[in-house]
Structure formats: structure tokens, C-alpha cells
Chain A
Amino acid sequence: EAQVTQNPRYLITVTGKKLTVTCSQNMNHEYMSWYRQDPGLGLRQIYYSMNVEVTDKGDVPEGYKVSRKEKRNFPLILESPSPNQTSLYFCASSFRQPFQETQYFGPGTRLLVL
């Protein structure tokens, strides 16, 4: 089944404790992206990747890191989480840059930073 998976789905952590949220897709998509969703603000792009070893900042990259060593995986790293990073995070992928392509979203990761 074609899908985007994220782990963990729910996470409670404390300020400053490094964490990684994994994202994997099995559709051989080139483009992958991370978003955060906050009430009243909609989806905001954190980082995106056009292909392996190519990553770029989105609208809200501060406090986040990403890597794209393999085509299927695009982990999101919070080196020192802070309470303002409490949010719902979505990973998404598309075959190429989403000029003409639909994006497939993962199920989401709900993060609470205390």
C-alpha cells in the first residue's frame, strides 16, 4: 500500500531533550516536506527536500534540522525542543516538486514540549 508513515504518532518530552521524528514513504517520491499545523495558522512549511542530499528551508525552519540521506526517509530533528514547538507535525511527499503533483500526507505526529 502506497503511504507515508511517521513515528512516533504522539510524543511528550521536556525542554532541551533532543528528539527525532521519522518520516518514510514507499512511493519512490523525490519531493518530501515537513509542516507544522497550529490552530488558526494552518499548515506552515518547515523544511523540504527536492531529492537526496538536497534540502531547503521553508517558512518556519528555526529550531529544526532535517537530512535526506536516502530517497525514502526524511527525518525531522529537534536538537533542543522548546514549548513553542508544541504542535501537530505532518510529513508529506510527492513524485516531483508539487508544481503539478498532489502531495501525500502522513498521519501526523502530535508533539508536546513541557
Chain B
Amino acid sequence: GQQVMQIPQYQHVQEGEDFTTYCNSSTTLSNIQWYKQRPGGHPVFLIQLVKSGEVKKQKRLTFQFGEAKKNSSLHITATQTTDVGTYFCVGISDRGSTLGRLYFGRGTQLTVWP
């Protein structure tokens, strides 16, 4: 069945280095959302991408939605210790029988060394 694969599962970087996590869906998505979960916390919405090829930026974070609407990425430039946490994507199906169904990536756990 449809699923969203997210890689890598873990990423350890030194403060100031860049970080990227990727989500890939087996089928076309209607839209994709990204969330951040701090250690011991709850998921918090970051952004939603809807259009093919869309790119959105939030300060040091850049989000992309692929042209085929089957993949997405989150890139953080010059990581800071405040970026620590798990980042996960949620793909939303656009197929008739599963319209609106949510597909969660398993998340990338980011550790930043000072």
C-alpha cells in the first residue's frame, strides 16, 4: 500500500553544519506537511506544501515539494542547538479511494553538537 519513506532515521551534526531530511511517497500526494517534535514534546506544525515544485523558506529552513508531488525535503542551513528534535513529514493522499488519508514518515532525529 501507499507509504511515505523518510531518510535518514538519525543525523548527528556539529553546530553550523547543514542538515537535510527527505520524504518519498510511492504515489502522488495532494499535499505534504512538516512537523517538528522536540525531545519530550509534542509535534508542532512547521509548514504545508501544496503545489508541484513549491519551495518555501522559514529563516534557515527550506522546504521543497517535488515536481511529481511524490517527494519532499527539509533543509536547515547552519544548524543551531535549538534545532535539535525529530522532524517528520505527513503526506496526504490525493487518490479517490484514499482521499485525505494521512501517511506519516517515521521521522529524522537530529542531534546538534555545540
Given contacts A97-B100, A99-B30, A102-B33, contact A42 B42 (CB under 8 A): no
Residue B78 is within 8 A (CB to CB) of chain A in the complex: no
| Distance of A104 Cα from B33 Cα, bound (Å) | 12
Q: Which of B61-114 contact A (CB under 8 A)?
A: 88, 90, 92, 100, 102, 104-107
Q: Which of A80-114 contact B (CB under 8 A)?
A: 90, 92, 97-100, 102-108
Q: Which of B19-34 contact A (CB under 8 A)?
A: 30-31, 33
Q: Which residues of B contact A90 (CB under 8 A)?
A: 42-43
B28-58 interface code vs A (CB 8 A; 1 in, 0 out): 0011010000000111110010100000000
Question: Does more than half of chain A's interface fall in helix, strand or loop, or is it mixed?
Answer: loop
Q: What is the number of contacts between chain A and chain B, taking CB atoms within 8 Å?
A: 45
Residue from A44, A92, A98, A104 within 8 A of B100 (CB atoms): A98
Residue A51 is within 8 A (CB to CB) of chain B in the complex: no
Given contacts A42-B104, A43-B104, contact A98 B45 (CB under 8 A): no
| Distance of A103 Cα from B48 Cα, bound (Å) | 11
Q: Which residues of A contact B102 (CB under 8 A)?
A: 45, 98
| Distance of A107 Cα from B41 Cα, bound (Å) | 7
Cβ–Cβ contact B42 & A102, under 8 A: no
Q: Which of A57-93 contact B (CB under 8 A)?
A: 90, 92
Told that A90-B43, A99-B92, A102-B45 touch, could you supply 12 new A-B pairs with CB distance under 8 A? A40-B106, A42-B88, A42-B104, A45-B102, A92-B43, A97-B100, A98-B33, A98-B92, A99-B100, A102-B33, A105-B44, A108-B42
By Cβ-Cβ distance, the 4 closest A-B pairs, closest first, are: A42-B106, A102-B45, A105-B42, A105-B43
